Amino acid sequence: MGFNGGKKPKRPTRGGVVAALDVGSTKVCCFIARHEEQGSVKVVGVGHQLAAGVRAGAIIDMEAAETSIGAAVHAAEQMAGETIRDVVVNVSGGYPVSHTFNAEVSVPGQEVTDSDVRRAMAHARGLQVGAESTLIHALPVGFSLDGNRGIRDPRGMYGDRLAVHVHVITAAAGAVRNLQTCVNRCHLDIESMVVSPYASALATLVEDEMELGVACIDMGGGTTTISVFFEGRMVWTDCIPVGGSHVTNDIARGLTTPVVHAERMKTLYGSAMASAADEREMIDVPQVGEEERASGNHVPKSLLVRIIQPRLEEIFELVRSRLEQSGFAKLAGRRVVLTGGASQLPGTRELAQLILDKQVRLGRPTRIGGLADANGGPAFSTAAGLLIHAVRHPTELPVSVHEAVSGGGIWGRVGMWLRENL
């Protein structure tokens, strides 16, 4: 498959309605927002539902997933008093992969013009992403002229060789097609697709972090995703198929308790780090298959922490090794922003600091209005980021993104990139 394009996302007009759909492994969430001046959005409708039929971000049961999506969208529509047709959807299944490549054209000693930039972008068409992959994003991360890197806008400069550096993100075609089909079956059109770590970062990172270098880690239910930003652009992303639901399953197995109770115990008593009081505090553990409450088990809280901590350590060690293998660990510097529902356990930030050996802060969606405390936490970062992506103002987030939802040529994409960024 060549370097395929896609339909141009419709930018909402001022006062228009935008909708975001976050299809996760543990919850499906729909945000409906009004687009206000200067690219800001205000949420007017929220619906969320326990996810069924989704594992590690990918759909494994079409009907169950369709029901979950339908219920979440309906709840958001009721609250907003709007009926939506187009949605921006996240992609976390299909193992999104980052590729970086350069495309070069000659501009023999002339001043660089729009058409030269277009030629360089068109040259990028040669990338082969494989028949089993779907292009999700093509992000120009910068230009170089005669080997001078780090140029953001080459127009008006002089040189002989103009190169564009493009960060491309692809995902398994089957997983993307399943997601598309499932959303379409709910009578919704996909306006654009955004990889989850990119959306989470847009909602939680501040401009200075994006400029100086930062890694954003989104800990979801079935997946943990990482993105690295540098000089205002996303330069790398990865996905690890381990998340908060694995911690819940560990508790259920370790204490032979139903999954529902394991989730409740994790939320009420769970912690990522041990404390001195844990030995003294006892927890009631209902046993699997036992009807009588009296037959419950009593265990010290320290036992719960001893089950949770190794799994979280494993997640952060995987993140650390993926970052090191990628070669982008240096660009991320010493800054990490932790978000996602599974990052909310007490002690998670401290454990991350210990294992990653970086400065860690907890991130929640800050660049969006109208969110109550109940749906403004780290678990809703991806949904909030999808809205920001939908109405992004070019000066606010100078990152070019293009989603391949349906086939199309490269010229529409080049034109869009030029309009947005140059």
- The pLDDT of residue 117 is 76
Neighbouring residues of 291: CB distance < 8 A, sequence distance ≥ 6: none
pLDDT at 8 over 60: no
Are 47 and 99 spatial neighbours (Cβ–Cβ below 8 Å)? no
In angstroms, the CA 327 to CA 325 distance is 6
Calpha distance 117→129 (Å, rounded): 22
Residue type, 272: A
Looking at residue 139, its pLDDT comes to 80
Going by pLDDT thresholds of 50, 70 and 90, the confidence category of residue 99 is confident
Which pLDDT score is estimated for 257? 93
Q: What is the pLDDT of residues 333-387, one digit of tens each?
A: 999 999 999 999 999 999 999 999 999 999 999 888 888 877 888 999 999 999 9
176 touches 183 (CB < 8 A): no
Among candidate residues 37, 66, 40, 35, the one with its CA nearest the CA of residue 51: 66
CB atoms within 10 A of CB 217: 26
Give 409 or 90, the one with higher predicted confidence.
90
CA distance 337 to 212: 13
Specify whether the CB–CB gap between 319 and 325 falls below 8 A: no
- The pair of structure tokens assigned to 236 is 């790398």
The per-residue pLDDT for range 137-167, each reduced to its tens digit, is 878 788 888 888 878 788 888 888 888 888 8
How far apart are alpha carbons 197 and 389 in whole angstroms?
12
Q: Name the nearest CA neighbour of 302 among 255, 349, 353.
A: 255
Could you tell me the domains of the chain? 97-172 (3.30.1490.110), 207-363 (3.30.420.40)
Tokens of 69: 């999506």
Measure the CA–CA gap between 185 and 246, rounded to whole angstroms: 30
Supply the pLDDT for residue 410. Answer: 44
Segment holding 355, helix H or strand E: helix 348-356
* CA separation for the pair 93, 99 (Å, rounded): 17
pTM of the model: 0.85
Q: Contact at 8 Å (CB) between 196 and 218?
A: yes
* Better pLDDT: 393 or 207: 207
For 257-293, what is each residue's pLDDT tens digit?
Answer: 999 999 999 999 999 998 888 888 899 888 888 766 6
pLDDT band, residue 209 (cuts 50/70/90): very high
* Model pLDDT, residue 422: 45
Residue appearing with tokens 């890197």: 149
Nearest to 36 by CA among 16, 20, 11, 19: 16
- The Cα 56–Cα 372 span in angstroms is 28
